Structure 1
Amino acid sequence: MAIAKAERLMNLALCLRGASRPLSKRELRGSIEAYIEAGGEEAFNRMFERDKDDLRELGMVIETVESLDGDTGYIARPDSNRLPPLSLDPAEAAALGLAAKVWQQVRLAGAAGAALQKLRAGGMPETADAEAPFSALEPRIPAGEASFEPLMIACRDRRPVLFEYRKANAARSTPRVVEPWALECWRGHWYLAGWDRGRDDQRVFRLSRITGKVRSRGGDFTAPVPDRVTVRESVAAWAGEHATGQARIRLRTGSGYPLRARATSLVEGSDGWDELELPHGHGLGAWLAEFGPDLVVLEPAELRADVVDRLRAVAKG
């Protein structure tokens, strides 16, 4: 919504709610600057009717009152536009507190903190730290990538974006024009799901591989947004989470913690290398290639060939 319209709606809402009696169109037009500058009577009437409908769609109760002289007045009585009393039990209050902590590292930190203060002022119960059932939890969502904030806004506003992206097996980044759908954090990394216009298909992008600035593009989305965007499921499949077999690798001692966490078996070696077995599924090779010289694939042969090909492509670049 444009700033000018938002300001005009706010001024109209304040006038209607603060009035002690119904106000006529003439009185409202003389009280709100945007209406004074609206031009002719017809332009003002169209603008006022749209604004009144918009406020009602937002939930404001506006009464229409006929006066004795036949004039029409409008008022938004405080009793009709008051939220019901806030009612939260301690568990619900604790959940909201955790949610506010989650966003403390990103742009939503200020909004989350302010919302929490308002809820407490409105009567949200505060549980003492010693008695809080979730007091030991300190959730964090890392969002250090510079691309997080512009992509979050683009997802919200349904606005296409352009950025440079480097695939795991590529030495150089390439431009991507994407219609962003959703952001989601999976195993400590942020991913964007959306429609890749260049590939004419949906794709998932890891934010840490976006290089340079994220730039907005004009125009509407060209592809429908799914009712449910399966970011985690897509990334899990890419990372071999939906396994169809087992892979055996050698991993340099002290490296590859994410692989060690997923290993179904681990044998420590005395030569500086450990041997691991991992669930093997589609896309695992792209993940293994990221560990470069710290990893050697033993089997299956097709996975080994996939990782070797990816590393050669990087070396040639």
Structure 2
Amino acid sequence: MSRDNRVEMERLVNLTFAFLHASRTGRTSLSADWLISHVRGYEHEEGRAESARRKLRRDVKNLQLAGVPIRAFSEDGAAHYALNDEDYALPALSLSPEEATVLGLAGDIGTSGALSAFARSGWMKLAAGGARRDLGTTPAVALSADIDRMSPGVLTALLGAHERKQRIEFDYQAMSTAPVVRRRMDLWGLVAHRSRLYMVGFDLDRGEERAFRIHRVSHVQATGPAGHEPGERNLQDIVQDCLHRGGERVDVLFRVEGEPVYDVVRQATKQPDGTYLLRQVDPEWAARTAAGVAPDMVLVSPPEVIEDTIALLRHAVGEGKEQQ
């Protein structure tokens, strides 16, 4: 999305929020002059009143075309606008948990840039109508780390395969330093667990139930109808069992530079050379922790956690540049 498109999108979001706030606080209408003076995005038009009014009229028309029921009228010779609340509210919804999950995940994809406001406000509007997403107890925002790091194409392919009950093949990389392997699965569903998003199903290569972290999956391809059904077992339990069975643990050695990272230091043992040792911790937790407090925590070992930390930091820097 170009910078001009982002600016226009943000202005439209701001304008919509102004109408919603006015409606909820009992204001029956907003004048064009008030909107130009108070809504962010029109301030650069000060001193150019007619240009600002033209931009406002164009924005109102675009919102009307998008389905926002704004009524324009004249009062005491001045232009006024009002939101028709009754036409904007959604009727009560009756979505299945699976349908609500798809809509919620679709909203989560738009977690950066100007589209996020529309995506999230759309989900909140659906939720207000009674929709509930079947992603455990993890709130939507907690999944943003996984959603931001995964390909929308992967999610689209997984949701399509799940809906059509298909068998899939995919590439999987357990860690950034691990080799990429091709796997096969009868997909049963998507599950959120501890702020992470997993796909769950029957692993044909291992001959057992398995869960895979979705952001480590790529090149998903449907290969035919699935041959294994999930039965009545809760998919969340399958994820927990898989994590418990295959829970990798590593010893992490780090230095403290700059501000002390008290929460991490409290869990570590200080070494004679001034470094700190964390014994038998989850490698992904260690990488995220080090990236979150960088540069105050500097990893010394193991190499795979250092590589994952660097990958997280590079991803964060890339996201920051895209939003500038």
Point out the structure with the larger helix share: 2
Larger radius of gyration: 1
Q: TM-score, normalised by structure 2?
A: 0.40
